[in-house]
Amino acid sequence: MNCNDENVMKKILVISDNYQLVSYIKNLYLSNEEWSKELFIDYSYSSINRNPQSLIELGMTEIDIKNKNLNELNDYHLIISAHCKQIFPAHIVNNKLCINIHPGLNPYNRGWFPQVFSILNKKPIGATIHKMDSEVDHGEIYCQEEVSILSHETSIDIYNKVIELEKKLIKNNLLKIINNELQPKLPSQEGNYNSIQDFNKLCKLNLEDNGSLREHIDLLRALTHGDFKNAYFYDENNTKVFVKIELSLSQE
């Protein structure tokens, strides 16, 4: 297959561990004649996904992107990371066009769980589609959009808004990116990065911490994400106690 021939269907590889986004892309492909005429899409989930059953039911196959060589990926015009749990290795992103659908507003709070850190440090949050380079959530930006953080929202509320925004960016821009009709731009600044270790430190609550009530509420809503057990402390019996917060708006 000659991927440079505009008359040939472009072969795309989507690597994702997110059921919502893969389902959306699949439905968009089936319902959009332009997509189905121009693209052939393969779907894979990362080999480190410990619960891939729902993705397998979507027809996805396992891939270990860290151990792939370029020859195995030569047929692909583009590789898309959509909430992939694995970091793409430098030898791939430096030699193959790879883009990332990222649940954050680059360059702010790059890395793990952007919405968690945006609740705390007040940096903007949103969705970004960007060209990948050898750094995490880094590289030139094709498109992005911001969402607001409201005072009663927890991590999962904001994350769900970001997911919907990612779908919007995919629908409006992905085919343009594939067809080289949308050029990426450098981010305005280097921004900041948060690691999984940074997140884990937040989860271990210090009951002697000083701070305003607002800061304590923000910490708990940043760590409240549906059924996930994130925030915790140890009581006087050394029992681990998990904490989450529920906030609701007045109906008056």
Distance CA 242, CA 168 (A): 35
pLDDT value at position 4? Answer: 47
- Choice among 4-13, 30-39, 107-116 with the minimum mean pLDDT: 4-13
pLDDT reported for residue 215 = 97
What does the alpha-carbon distance between residue 122 and residue 124 come to, in Å, rounded to a whole number?
Answer: 6
Higher pLDDT, 241 or 134: 241
Model confidence at 3: pLDDT above 50: no
**What is the pLDDT at residue 8?**
76
The sign of the torsion formed by the CA atoms of 217, 223, 227, 232 equals: negative
Predicted confidence band of residue 213 (pLDDT cuts 50, 70, 90): very high
What is the mean pLDDT of the segment spanning 162-168? Answer: 98
Average pLDDT over the chain, rounded to whole? 94
Q: Does 250 score more than 60 pLDDT?
A: yes
How far, in Å, CA of 57 to CA of 196, rounded?
A: 29
- Which pLDDT does position 6 carry in this prediction? 53
* Tens digits of residue pLDDT in 79-96: 999 999 999 999 999 999
Instruction: Assess whether pLDDT exceeds 50 at residue 49.
Output: yes
Rounded average pLDDT over 32-52: 93
Domains of the chain plus CATH, in order, are: 10-194 (3.40.50.170), 196-242 (no CATH)
Q: Residue 1 above 50 pLDDT? A: no
Percent of the chain with pLDDT over 90: 87
107-125 average pLDDT score: 97
Residue 108 region by backbone torsions, left for phi larger than 0, else alpha for psi between -120 and 50, else beta: beta
Per-residue model confidence (pLDDT) at position 69 = 83
Segment 159-182 shows an average pLDDT of: 96
- Give the pLDDT band (50/70/90) at residue 76: very high
Question: Hey, which residues are catalytic here?
Answer: 102
